[in-house]
Structure formats: structure tokens, C-alpha cells
Amino acid sequence: MLHEEEVLSDLQSSLYIARCVELGKEAGIHYLVMQLLGDNLSELRRTTPTKRFSLRTVSQLGLQMVESIREMHENGYVHRDIKPSNFCIGLPTATADDGDGPGDGDAP
């Protein structure tokens, strides 16, 4: 989690990254409190009557997703877990996971 704290701290000026509300360590356990966001894109898609987004929606969301990834790359980070459930609705769309958690090839 220390790497995740560093990434979030470096990217707090981005419009596309969830805000870090509080970082801390209590009784030897690190914690991270992040901004509450809306549904992720995977959940939101499932709530639509057709279980699909319109072409216009896909275009708008896609541009925001690409922009958020571009900003991460410009700051020296690579998101290794890009998927709809890691993008949450807000204005604009925000990335909820920096892609560097367990299951990304790193030891937990």
C-alpha cells in the first residue's frame, strides 16, 4: 500500500484520479481513505436496459479514460489493471485503482 500512497500523492492534481482524503498508520496497519465516487463503469453498464452504452457514451467515456491513463504515464506510472470496474463515474471519470495491488505480479 505504500506505493499506492505515493502514486495517489503524486497524482492529486489530476482531474481523473480519486482524491486522497487521509493517509495514516494505526496499530501498525497502514490505511488510506479515498474520495467516495459513483458507480464504476462495469456496474453502471449492467444497470442500463440493454446492458450496453450508446456509441456517444462510449466515445465520451473513452476519451476521459484515455486522458486519465495519459496523465498517469506523463507522471511516470503505468496502470497495470485497466478495466471498466477500475473507472468510476464522477465529472470527469476517475480511476479508482492505481493497478499496482496484489495480483498485479507483486507480492502482497
Q: Does a structural domain hold residue 103? A: no
Q: In this predicted model, what pLDDT tens digit does every residue of 42-65 receive, in sequence order? A: 999 999 999 999 999 999 999 999
Q: Are 92 and 15 in contact (CB under 8 A)?
A: yes
The number of domains in the chain is: 1
Please tell me the predicted confidence (pLDDT) of residue 94: 55
Residue 22 placed within a domain: yes
Position 23 scores a pLDDT of 87
Residues in the chain: 108
Which CATH number do you get for residue 53?
Answer: 1.10.510.10
Beta bridge partners of 69: none
pLDDT at 7: 86
Assigned domain for 56 exists:
yes
Q: Is 6 within a domain?
A: yes
**Is 45 part of any domain?**
yes
Domain range for 76 is 2-95
Does the residue 100 lie in any domain?
no
Catalytic residue ranges: 81
Report whether 85 contacts 40 (CB < 8 A): yes
Q: Could you say which residues of the chain have pLDDT below 70?
A: 1-2, 91-96, 98-108
Supply the DSSP symbol for 85: G
Domain-located, residue 105: no
- Residue 102 lies inside a defined structural domain of this protein: no
